[in-house]
Structure formats: structure tokens, C-alpha cells
């Protein structure tokens, strides 16, 4: 199994035959570990929004970096890069022109700073910022499912919309119905828009079941190429 994405060159040889795809972890590190422990033969892939809202963003990011987890960019990673303490270091968000000053703090960024034992106005470690700044908008898994479709992995399902000048749809797009996605032979796996329960359709699945949100509180993963959904209630506090 391999990845098709220039930003992830060098990771394809580390891809196993079976994957577990997770999205919108939002600092839910213990929950993530509990789900991954049940599927030790499946390699994790992350679809963005590793940080904010939950209590253990640092641990999630460190896990992704140290384990070389293939990861795509989410809107919360982009908000983090737009934080003034990070722009002062030369980092720039893909959608910077759409953000108000320090909007990240009002979208759970304070909890991410706390997980790093930092205060407002202090930047995250440079190695973390560098890693986030290079996350791609999508990944393609070339091993097909039973229907012959390759997996297209992006935060919103609209990752192909990203280019040097416009990432807004790729990181913030919402899908009202399946008609928003072309039937191009790909099976889209994404998160971003929380749902009470994930349901697999013939061409896509939204796996954001609101792990870090009150009233939702479930982490959903997709086993690939099995196309099976697995869940874990949130155990982070």
C-alpha cells in the first residue's frame, strides 16, 4: 500500500497493508490510544484537527511526529499557524486572509497552549510549527476497497480544491449532500463536520463523530481497505 502525495514522499514505504483512519482528535490522546490498541495491525492515518478543545493536544502531535503518522492539514492546524506568536516566527497560515487576529485562541487554542505549559503570547516549539506547515491537503491510498475505489483522504473531502492561492474549501468546506463530490472513482474519507453517527455510503464517509464535543464524545475510525467503522467513547478528561 502506498501514498500518492508529493508532500508525503518517503512515507509510502512505511505504509502497511491495513490502515485505521482517524480525524478530529482534538487533543483526545487517551481515547486515540484506546482505539489504536484494539487494532495493533492497522497503521494510523490522521485527517487533521489534532489540536485544540481537548486536554492533550501536545501528546497527540508528539505521537504523530514520533510515529511518522501520515497526516493531512486541518483547519485547526491552519488556525494555529495564523496565531500572532507563530507569524512573528515567519509561519503563515494557508487561509490567513480569512482569519481575525488570534482567532485560534477562541477556537480551543488556549487548551493547546496549556498542554505545552505555555501562556498567551508564547509560541509552540519550532519543530511542531515546521511539521504543521508542511502538512498536505490530501492523501490518496492506492490500495482499493472491495468496490475498486482508492481512498481519498482529506480534512473536508474537498482537498483537491487546495492550491497555492486557495485552501479555504479544502480546510473549511461543508458538504450538504453527496452531490458535492464528483464520482471520480475515489472513496472520500473526511471529518470536519461532526455527526451523531458515521454512515458509510458507496462513495464517501464522514468520520467526525465529535470526539471532544459535549453531547457527542465518540471517536470514529475507518479500517481500510475493509471499509469498516470502529468507535471508542471519549475517555479524556
Is position 49 within any domain?
yes
Predicted local distance difference test score (pLDDT) of residue 7: 39
Is position 18 within any domain?
no
Domain membership of residue 122 as a residue range:
44-139
Is position 7 within any domain?
no
**HSE value, Cβ hemisphere, 13 Å, CA-based, for 159:** 26
Is position 196 within any domain?
no
Asked if 69 contacts 14 with a C-beta cutoff of 8 angstroms, the reply is: no
- Other C-beta atoms within 10 Å of 23: how many? 31
- Cis amide bond preceding 225, omega within 30: yes
Is position 166 within any domain?
no
State how far the Cα of 178 lies from the Cα of 220, in Å rounded to an integer. 20
Domain count, the chain: 1
State how far the Cα of 73 lies from the Cα of 159, in Å rounded to an integer. 9
Cα–chain center distance at 171: 10
Predicted local distance difference test score (pLDDT) of residue 166: 84
- Nine-digit cell string for 131: 511539521
Is position 13 within any domain?
no
Is position 8 within any domain?
no
Predicted local distance difference test score (pLDDT) of residue 17: 84
92's CB contacts (< 8 A; 6+ apart) are 81, 82, 133
Per-residue pLDDT of the chain (237 residues; tens, 9 = 90+): 545 544 343 343 346 689 999 999 999 999 999 999 999 999 999 999 999 999 999 999 999 999 999 999 999 999 999 999 999 999 999 999 999 989 999 999 999 999 999 999 999 999 999 999 999 999 999 999 999 999 999 999 999 999 867 899 999 999 877 678 989 999 999 999 999 999 999 999 999 999 999 999 999 999 999 999 999 999 997
Is position 125 within any domain?
yes
Instruction: Tell me how many helices (H) and strands (E) the chain has.
Output: 7, 8
Amino acid at each position: 500500500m502506498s501514498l500518492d502525495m508529493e508532500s508525503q514522499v518517503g512515507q509510502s514505504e512505511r505504509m502497511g497493508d491495513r490502515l485505521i483512519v482517524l480525524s478530529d482528535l482534538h487533543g483526545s490522546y487517551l481515547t486515540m490510544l484506546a482505539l489504536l490498541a484494539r487494532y495493533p495491525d492497522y497503521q494510523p492515518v490522521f485527517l487533521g484537527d489534532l489540536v485544540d478543545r481537548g486536554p492533550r493536544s501536545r501528546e497527540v502531535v508528539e505521537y504523530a511526529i514520533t510515529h511518522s503518522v501520515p497526516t493531512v492539514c486541518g483547519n485547526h492546524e491552519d488556525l494555529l499557524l495564523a496565531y500572532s506568536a507563530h507569524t512573528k516566527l515567519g509561519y503563515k497560515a494557508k487561509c490567513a486572509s480569512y482569519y481575525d487576529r488570534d482567532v485560534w485562541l477562541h477556537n480551543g487554542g488556549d487548551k493547546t497552549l496549556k498542554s505545552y505549559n505555555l501562556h498567551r503570547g508564547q509560541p509552540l516549539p519550532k519543530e511542531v510549527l515546521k511539521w504543521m506547515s508542511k502538512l498536505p491537503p490530501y492523501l490518496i491510498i492506492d490500495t482499493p476497497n472491495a468496490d475498486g475505489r482508492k481512498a481519498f483522504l482529506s480534512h473536508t473531502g474537498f482537498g483537491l480544491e487546495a492550491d497555492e492561492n486557495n485552501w479555504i474549501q479544502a480546510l473549511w468546506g461543508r458538504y450538504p449532500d453527496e452531490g458535492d463530490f464528483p464520482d471520480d472513482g475515489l472513496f472520500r474519507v473526511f471529518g470536519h463536520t461532526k455527526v451523531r453517527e458515521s454512515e458509510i455510503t458507496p462513495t464517501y464517509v464522514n468520520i467526525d463523530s465529535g470526539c471532544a464535543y459535549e453531547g457527542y464524545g465518540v471517536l470514529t475510525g475507518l479500517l481500510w481497505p475493509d471499509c469498516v467503522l470502529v468507535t471508542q467513547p471519549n475517555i479524556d478528561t
